[in-house]
Structure 1
Amino acid sequence: MILPPGAAHASPAVQYTNPIAARRADPHVFRHTDGYYYLTATVPEYDRIVLRRATTIQGLAGAPETVIWRRHTTGEMGAHIWAPEIHFINGKWYVYFAAGRADDVWRIRMYVLESAAANPLTGAWTERGRITTPWDTFSLDATTFVAGGVRYLLWAQQEPGIATNSNLYIARMGANPWTITGTVTRLTVPTLAWETRGYKVAEGPAVLQRNGRLFLTYSASATDANYCVGLLTASASADPLQAASWTKSPNPVFASNAATSQYGPGHNSFTVSEDGQSDLIVYHDRNYRDISGDPLNDPNRRTRVQKVYWRADGTPDFGIPVADGVTPVRLMSYDVAGSAVRHWDYRARLESNVTPLADSQFRLVTGLSGAGTVSLESANFPGYYLRHRNHEGWVHQRDGSALFDADASFTRRTGLAGSGTVSFESINFPGYYLRHRAGTVWVERDDGTTAFRNSASFILE
């Protein structure tokens, strides 16, 4: 079957159940050529580096965890073991992490471990020491990426003479993965209101390369509900060592969301779905806002994952941190390329370039009418469901009535337009399907025409 223009380019739906890992902050997931995803993260005791692996993202949730390194009892690397990242470079494994001294826990610096083992969970690790930068100051969150055949190091550091907690820096890697060389460039300083709540912070850099551009996410403000993600963007053909190559987005691109009960999302990494066709953001947050005492002493940041979407202009849309449980999907029209079902003033419509993204995201959950059915719950209005009323499509809050539950429950079918699509048949009007007509959404009877069947078929993205 040949899909209509645009439909074939919809990235397939990927669904995961969050959280992936409890009490694991600053998560870094690396997908290796051996078929495994590797997850490392900060543990709340700040005393060790852990690693787990699985052949699927969801499999990481139940994968056994191995301690690959523990803090020193004296001196350097003796406290505040933070933000490990695992990378595979030139045939060896490397873990970048930050650590304080046993006798000076806030003397945070960056360090590197190396392993030549095929399996980094079972192999021996060698300490390669500290990453040296121009200043002997608070520094953390080292990460590495390759662009234009050149390997770079990104990190956060407190620079003498600048009254911030940390700024972002970049340099070329030198002769090995724990040495930088040449010019060090300051990429950004936290100055905006959302970067300076509680503390003046730019940290946790991560790079996503797509569509001829480099997208550098970073985390800002205190590590409570104010924590959020910012974005720098550069052309892939520009010199990343030139600060002028990068443009800062004026607003955070990922932030707390009270409706979904997700607070302080940040310190993310990026990976890809199992089929390699969807980018994923991996991050931590909490499912409550109020914290007693120092947020660094609160152990309940959790590792989470969700899909990154792409706008028509080639820029990423991270949406909102979605509710715990199964991640949402979009219902993309089969016959109107690039258009999705979305809610607008509670009316279900078909639209392209939906803003905000979450207006077009729905969680496919067990139907309100019971097993064997499915309901579509709004991503940004949990407890609201796509339903029909007088055959018109609406997104309404569940009222507890049997009629509402039936109106919001469907049987998921292979799409009327054929394989690769899905259709949703009303359970209280058999033979009637969710479809779009004249830009709005209806539940109407299948009349057997190609036009109806195409308009009642969707691609899950």
Structure 2
Amino acid sequence: MGKLVFRRSYIVSLMALMLSCSETKKATDYPPPDKVTTFYNPLLGSGPDPWVYKKDGSFYYMHTMVNSIAIWKTRAISELGKAPVKTVWTPPASGNNTKNIWAPELHFLQGKWYLYYTAGATTNLATQRCFVLENPNPDPTTGSWTDKGKLADPLGDYFAIDGTILEYKDKLYFIWSGQISGTDISQRIYIAEMENPWTLKSSRVQLSFPQYDWEKKGSAVNEGPEVLKNPAGNVFVVYSGSNCATDDYGLGMLRLKENGDPLNAADWTKSPVPVFTKSINNNVFGPGHNGFFKSRDDKEDWIIYHANVQSGQGCGGTRSPRIQRFTWKSDGTPDFGEPVDVSQKLTKPSGESE
């Protein structure tokens, strides 16, 4: 696992720079949005692997914290720095989900909240797997979380990280980054149909592997898959390619053909070039591990991602969460543009200054 260990070699610096999760304010007591119409990136000083989920007028945010999972709750994602935060889960003292808590994602499915995350049994990264928690409370910052266990294909139970959900044609699918065997160290994108939000129904199917030069900088990596649907309902999976310790960490994209079968790899088309990359002019390096959300009034599409402000800062706690609006091209594909400089004043997402 030499390359994999290198890929996460900045974990020590990440732990040193973890944000404090003070519970001095309840997560339900957030302030109303400011009337100011602009904001600046980053949203927080540190926040690798950021995730946003919007429901009932509230934004729920989380990121990798290594030894716990916390949720920020706000009515204005552009004002995340003022939002209250609550630690909702800490790992058990022993077991297969005690170390290296990465990439948490919150999803509301079938009337309950589910929280998907990556963890390992030891500091050996080969033990990293995907897990899920369940909470029936309407507000995920309250109530209790039940451990629903590990999500894995028993015939392919190897290194697995960065799980996410695809809802498509009344079915649920789990998509993640994993390895083809216990000895292979290249990271691939896999998908499986789900029986329910905590159980896989089918065997895994490989959707993508690092085949282009831009996906192999530092090491061969496809990770952080995230689902995006255009206004017509077409499905995309946007993923991160190359080693996260490099400046060239960036986003690639898969597209499912119209009315395609997500479990049929032939129904997916892969872009040969990245769709979102570093900007030397704007001092944005290693932009990746993204998510997507609608503005508060559902009128705009936004991307959230992490990036560094200097070259060579790598895969640690210097990565900060940023957001920017994106649009759609005439062929239905997203146009993410260029990652913006943190000195650039941006207009808040629609509905946040009302």
Task: Tell me the distance in 1 between the aligned counterparts of 2:49 and 2:267.
Answer: 27
Q: Does 1:253 align with 2:275?
A: yes
Displacement of 1:313: 2.2
Q: 1:317 to 1:103 in 2, by over 3 A?
A: closer
Equivalent residue runs for 1:62-101 within 5 Å: 62-101=82-121
Equivalent residue runs for 1:146-161 within 5 Å: 146-160=167-181
Say whether the 8 Å CA contact 2:286–2:308 is kept in structure 1. yes
Displacement of 1:16: 4.1
Q: Does 1:301 align with 2:319?
A: yes
Displacement of 1:150: 1.4
Task: Tell me the distance in 1 between the aligned counterparts of 2:38 and 2:194.
Answer: 36
SS of aligned partner of 1:25: coil
Task: Tell me the distance in 1 between the aligned counterparts of 2:169 and 2:340.
Answer: 34
Tell me which amino acid in the other structure corresponds to 1:299. G
Structure 2 equivalent of residue 265 of structure 1: 287
Residue 204 of structure 1 is aligned with which of 220, 224, 233? Answer: 224
Task: Tell me the distance in 2 between the aligned counterparts of 1:233 and 1:327.
Answer: 32
Task: Tell me the distance in 1 between the aligned counterparts of 2:183 and 2:213.
Answer: 17
Q: How many residues are paired up?
A: 309
Displacement of 1:116: 1.1
Tell me which amino acid in the other structure corresponds to 1:246. W
Structure 1 equivalent of residue 159 of structure 2: 138
Structure 1 equivalent of residue 200 of structure 2: 180
Task: Tell me the distance in 1 between the aligned counterparts of 2:267 and 2:192.
Answer: 14
Tell me which amino acid in the other structure corresponds to 1:86. L
Say whether the 8 Å CA contact 1:147–1:236 is kept in structure 2. no
SS of aligned partner of 1:308: strand
Q: 1:16 to 1:246 in 2, by over 3 A?
A: farther
Structure 2 equivalent of residue 315 of structure 1: 333
Task: Tell me the distance in 1 between the aligned counterparts of 2:233 and 2:142.
Answer: 38
Displacement of 1:274: 1.7
Task: Tell me the distance in 2 between the aligned counterparts of 1:138 and 1:82.
Answer: 13
Tell me which amino acid in the other structure corresponds to 2:169. G
Q: 1:77 to 1:162 in 2, by over 3 A?
A: closer
| Greater strand content | 1
Task: Tell me the distance in 2 between the aligned counterparts of 1:120 and 1:74.
Answer: 25
Equivalent residue runs for 1:432-443 within 5 Å: none
Q: 1:159 to 1:327 in 2, by over 3 A?
A: farther
* Residue deviations 1:159-213 (CA, integer Å, cap 9, x gap): 1288443100111111x21111124211011111110111111110111111342
Q: Does 1:107 align with 2:127?
A: yes
**Relative CO higher for 1 or 2, CA cutoff 8 Å, sep ≥ 6?**
2
Q: Does 1:122 align with 2:142?
A: yes
Q: CA RMSD in A?
A: 1.9
Tell me which amino acid in the other structure corresponds to 1:127. D
* Residue deviations 1:333-355 (CA, integer Å, cap 9, x gap): xxxxxxxxxxxxxxxxxxxxxxx
Say whether the 8 Å CA contact 2:116–2:163 is kept in structure 1. yes
Structure 1 equivalent of residue 192 of structure 2: 171
- Percent identity among equivalent residues? 36
Structure 2 equivalent of residue 39 of structure 1: 61
Task: Tell me the distance in 2 between the aligned counterparts of 1:97 and 1:159.
Answer: 20
Say whether the 8 Å CA contact 2:257–2:269 is kept in structure 1. no
Task: Tell me the distance in 1 between the aligned counterparts of 2:62 and 2:88.
Answer: 10
SS of aligned partner of 2:266: helix
Residue 28 of structure 1 is aligned with which of 34, 51, 75? Answer: 51
SS of aligned partner of 2:128: strand
* Residue deviations 1:71-103 (CA, integer Å, cap 9, x gap): 233332111100000001111111100001136
Structure 2 equivalent of residue 226 of structure 1: 248
Task: Tell me the distance in 2 between the aligned counterparts of 1:236 and 1:68.
Answer: 39
Structure 2 equivalent of residue 401 of structure 1: none
Q: Which runs of 5+ in 1 are unaligned?
A: 1-13, 330-362, 364-461
Equivalent residue runs for 1:323-362 within 5 Å: 323-328=341-346
Displacement of 1:271: 0.3
Task: Tell me the distance in 2 between the aligned counterparts of 1:24 and 1:124.
Answer: 24
Task: Tell me the distance in 2 between the aligned counterparts of 1:282 and 1:144.
Answer: 17
Tell me which amino acid in the other structure corresponds to 1:26. D
Calculate the TM-score normalised by the size of structure 2: 0.83
Displacement of 1:312: 2.1
* Residue deviations 1:30-80 (CA, integer Å, cap 9, x gap): 0012x100001102xx11111011111113221011111112333321111
Task: Tell me the distance in 1 between the aligned counterparts of 2:215 and 2:345.
Answer: 28
Task: Tell me the distance in 2 between the aligned counterparts of 1:241 and 1:277.
Answer: 31
